[in-house]
Amino acid sequence: MVLLPIYFLIASVFGLGGVNYWDLPFNGLIDQLAVYDTNLSLDEIIALDIEQLSNAELLTRVADQINLGNISAVTENITLPNAGDFTAVITWSSSDNTSVNHYGQVTRPEVGEPDSNVTLTATITIGAEQLTRDFELVVKSLDAESSALVAHYSFDNHLVESTANFSDANIIGAMIGTVGGNESYSAGVNGQALYLDGNTGGFLYLMV
């Protein structure tokens, strides 16, 4: 394929090859001429004028280029493309507009509610032909931002840290750095509770 200089003289009239007095006349064959109303990338030129892909093949290529990021754990709005290569037009529809609408705006389920499964459908149009492509999303509930448990002391008649992430607690005096105190327990809301009598403290060494 040879890209020839094209010089537009007036509207709807143009010349191929050498059209000025300083140009050398072009000596060769011109097999086809295609004029587009927009700039084309190299990939588009190859697909359209060298590989000469059909519209169905172009639609598949555009669909394969759509990348919505990590859709298995959606927590924020998604950018939905509305155009692709080869002058393709892309429109969107959603199976659940309350979670993700066709603009890509995300509304996450409230705390205590399960994650939401949503299908976004892209309809890609080139000329008179169309192709649809589904994208399965999981919209994470606001529970996903809850803090993870890193330490737990039940104080059920012991000072054990049950996750094993940190050391067990120790009884100290009324102030940090003092010894003494009495390890004592009383009935709590959930099981037993550590009883501090004003002269007793508990020392927990937590480095998070």
Pair 109, 138: CB distance under 8 Å: no
Task: Specify the DSSP class assigned to residue 145.
Answer: G
In this structure, is the dihedral angle defined by the CA atoms of residues 53, 54, 58 and 64, taken in order, positive or negative?
negative
pLDDT tens column, 133-149: 999 999 999 875 545 56
| Cα–Cα distance for residue pair 9/93, rounded to 1 Å | 46
Can you give the pLDDT at residue 7?
Answer: 46
- Sequence-distant (6+) residues with CB within 8 A of 169 are 153, 159, 161, 202, 203, 204
pLDDT digits (tens, 9 = 90+) for 42-77: 777 777 766 677 888 989 999 999 999 889 999 999
Cβ atoms of 159 and 202 within 8 Å: the answer is: yes
pLDDT digits (tens, 9 = 90+) for 105-133: 999 999 889 999 999 999 999 989 999 99
Give the pLDDT score at 150: 76
**List of E strands, the chain:** 6-10, 13-16, 83-84, 88-94, 116-126, 129-139, 170-172, 184-187, 192-195, 201-203
What pLDDT, on a 0 to 100 scale, did the predictor assign at position 21?
67
Collapse the DSSP code of 47 into the 3-class scheme (helix H, G, I; strand E, B; otherwise coil) and give the result.
helix
Confidence of residue 205 (pLDDT cuts 50, 70, 90): low
106: closest CA among 77, 81, 79? 77
* Local structure of residue 48 (DSSP, 8 states): I
Over residues 151-203, the pLDDT tens digits come to 888 888 888 888 777 888 888 888 887 888 888 888 888 888 888 888 876 65
- What's the rounded Cα separation, in Å, for the pair 157 and 169? 12
- Domains of the chain and CATH, by start: 6-50 (no CATH), 55-145 (2.60.40), 147-208 (no CATH)
